[in-house]
Amino acid sequence: MPDVSPTKWHLAHTTWFFETFILKKWIPGYRPVVPEYAYLFNSYYNAAGEMHRRDLRGLISRPTVEETKKYRASIDSDIDDLLSGADDKNLTELESLITLGIHHEQQHQELLVTDIKHVFAQNPLHPIFRKRKLENEKNGAVPLNFVSFDEGIFEIGHSGDGFSYDNEGPRHRALVLPFSMANRLITNGEYFEFIEDNGYARPEFWLSLGWTTVNEQRWQAPLYWEKREEKWWNFTLSGFRLVDENEPVTHVSYFEADAFANWKGARLPTEFEWESAAAKIEIDGNFVESERFHPQTLEALQENRRLQQMFGDVWEWTRSSYSPYPGYRAKAGALGEYNGKFMCNQYVLRGGSCATSRTHIRKSYRNFFQPDKRWQFTGIRLARDLV
């Protein structure tokens, strides 16, 4: 599908990023390794020039993987030389650009995992990315409860000197009315009840555009679920296996998350509720470093923690539209296109997933996707009004 890119393209694009935004700017008379790569491996930076069609990336047979690796090695060498010869005055700006490039690469490392999963899922042989014995949990799920939060005015957005993307600021105050939030993520078993209650066939739970999408795409379950002999199976990066009812449900769109919440008599949290609730919670969880590549069952409640699974496992849909914070202005030039130009027709997700790096996530991190997207590890946490 158009959202998914080949592994080789990700490798080349992240290399192109360093070449385009650092080497071409900082090395006088720089000559590109292969000028045509600027067209092939630009993603969406219109200010950086023309680009190849995204939906045709899978048809690119050249450069080969080995040629792509040589391209990477060449750019790495030039970056090393540039840093070695830079004076203190230039190092500060260079450090900022290289740090952005590294975080950009971490985003594409996450996309590598999710894109490989989608590509493998299209293969009728269902190849295995990483063999792993994933036992279906025998114990029942941790009870679903709601934790109440008082009204308050909270500081929202990134603070401190560490790295953040521009869409995480400016830091500002937001009024959050009294609300409650589920103590854990929604499980496959709970979502299965929605399916069994004909949730996909009942328009009263769905947004109008969601209902149109469900019928056009003929959705009947989360992405990668398949019914065989009256049992639900799902494709994982460790192969096909029975759906574990105790694992967090994943690969659901905003439309599905919102419909499920309506069916439950609840709603999705706003991103401001989510961030204020997460403010005092340590960032830990099932991230890509565990190499599980799959959401993990919550086996027991963690001591002294009212909210579980806030980080890792699945990106949590919020009901907040992806829009600029008060006072936000996109930077000038191509890098200003990194986040700002996407602030339309998308929803914010929080918390990271099992494909996200632990070193990449922040409490203020704002991921965003269109409401029909399902190929990322996206899941559901419920909220309720208390007013």
* Per-residue 3-state assignment (H helix, E strand, C coil) for 54-79: HHHHHHCCCCCHHHHHHHHHHHHHHH
Pairing of β 231-236 and β 347-350: unpaired
Task: Please write the tens of the pLDDT for every residue from 207-266.
Answer: 999 999 999 999 999 999 999 999 999 999 999 999 999 999 999 999 999 999 999 999
Evaluate whether residue 217 is within a structural domain: yes
> pTM of the prediction?
0.95
Burial 108-124 (b: 16+ CB within 10 A, else e): bbbbbbbbbbbbbbeee
107 with 219, same domain: the answer is no
Of the candidate ranges 109-113, 161-165, 191-195, 358-362, the one whose mean pLDDT is the lowest = 161-165
318 with 197, same domain: the answer is yes
Q: How far apart are CA 4 and CA 87, in angstroms?
A: 40
Residue 382 pLDDT level (bands cut at 50, 70, 90):
very high
73 with 173, same domain: the answer is no
Q: How far apart are CA 243 and CA 227, in angstroms?
A: 10
Out of 86, 121, 156, a domain closes at: 121
How many Cβ atoms from other residues are within 10 Å of residue 197's Cβ? 12
Query: Is the per-residue pLDDT at 271 higher than 60?
Result: yes
In percent, the amount of the chain with pLDDT more than 70 equals: 98
* Span 92-107, average pLDDT: 93
162 with 107, same domain: the answer is no
Evaluate whether residue 318 is within a structural domain: yes
Number of domains into which the chain is organized: 2
Q: What residue numbers bound the domain in which 248 lies?
A: 146-385
Burial 149-172 (b: 16+ CB within 10 A, else e): beeeebebbbeeeeebbbbbbeee
Evaluate whether residue 131 is within a structural domain: no
Q: What is the pLDDT of residue 141?
A: 78
Q: What is the pLDDT of residue 10?
A: 96
Evaluate whether residue 204 is within a structural domain: yes
What single-letter amino acid sits at 379? G
Evaluate whether residue 134 is within a structural domain: no
110 with 229, same domain: the answer is no
Residue bearing tokens 């914070």? 325
Q: What is the pLDDT of residue 266?
A: 98
Evaluate whether residue 74 is within a structural domain: yes
Helices (H), 63-221: 65-85, 88-121, 188-196, 208-217
Query: Is the per-residue pLDDT at 300 higher than 70?
Result: yes
Evaluate whether residue 273 is within a structural domain: yes
* Span 19-28, average pLDDT: 94
Q: What is the pLDDT of residue 273?
A: 98
Q: Which CATH number do you get for residue 290?
A: 3.90.1580.10
182 with 307, same domain: the answer is yes
- Asked if 158 and 168 touch (Cβ cutoff 8 Å), the reply is yes
Out of 87, 121, 155, a domain closes at: 121
183 with 38, same domain: the answer is no
206 with 314, same domain: the answer is yes
Burial 57-77 (b: 16+ CB within 10 A, else e): beeeeebeeeebeebbeebee
Query: Is the per-residue pLDDT at 137 higher than 60?
Result: no
39 with 164, same domain: the answer is no
What is the chain's mean pLDDT, rounded? Answer: 94
What are the backbone dihedrals phi and psi of residue 106, each rounded to the nearest 5 degrees, phi first?
A: -65, -35
240 with 294, same domain: the answer is yes
Q: What is the pLDDT of residue 161?
A: 87
113 with 202, same domain: the answer is no
Q: What is the pLDDT of residue 175?
A: 98
Evaluate whether residue 72 is within a structural domain: yes
* Span 284-311, average pLDDT: 91
Residue bearing tokens 């590549």? 293
156 with 285, same domain: the answer is yes
Residue 136 pLDDT level (bands cut at 50, 70, 90):
low
What is the DSSP track for 20-49? IIIIHHHSTT---SSTTHHHHS--S-GGG-
Task: Please write the tens of the pLDDT for every residue from 349-377.
Answer: 999 999 999 999 999 999 999 999 999 99
